[in-house]
Amino acid sequence: MSVCTLSDKHFSAVVLAYETYHINCFPLNLSWYEAKEKVGEILHQANLDSFNYRYKEDLTGTFVFDSSAPQLSVPAVLKALDCIEYQCCEVESYQQTRAYKIIKQLRLSLIDKIDGYEEAHWFID
């Protein structure tokens, strides 16, 4: 598997979903407003950690929220999250990381926002 480093705009577009869809960041106990910088930092660092682990590098960097990031539809945020997860999962014990927990929680929260989800039947007879 290969890993690349993602742009601040990519992370910014994803973290904007907290504000756009009024989702609280439960793994960090942050409101949607507070999540913007902190979640971006965590996901950015997880991406660097994964890259460094995979390629035995020592890249460093800081996340800077990109205010020009687009406001994405729910499906687009889900796809961008899949990309982030793919670029962050190379480290050992990935499923124990804050990045994994944030991605999982945001993904589950966004599923509820998909048009038609609330109206869909829970049981299929």
The predicted-structure confidence for 54-80, as pLDDT tens digits, reads as follows 999 999 999 999 999 999 999 999 999
**What does the pLDDT read at residue 29?**
84
Average pLDDT over residues 82-86: 98
Q: Please report the pLDDT score of residue 79 as a whole number.
A: 98
Q: What is the pTM of this model?
A: 0.93
Mean pLDDT of 78-83: 98
pLDDT, one tens digit per residue, over 14-59 is 999 999 998 888 888 887 777 888 999 999 999 999 999 999 999 9
CB 109 within 8 A of CB 74: no
Q: What is the pLDDT of residue 42?
A: 97
Q: Residue 106: CB partners within 8 Å, gap ≥ 6?
A: 14, 17, 18, 23, 25, 77, 81
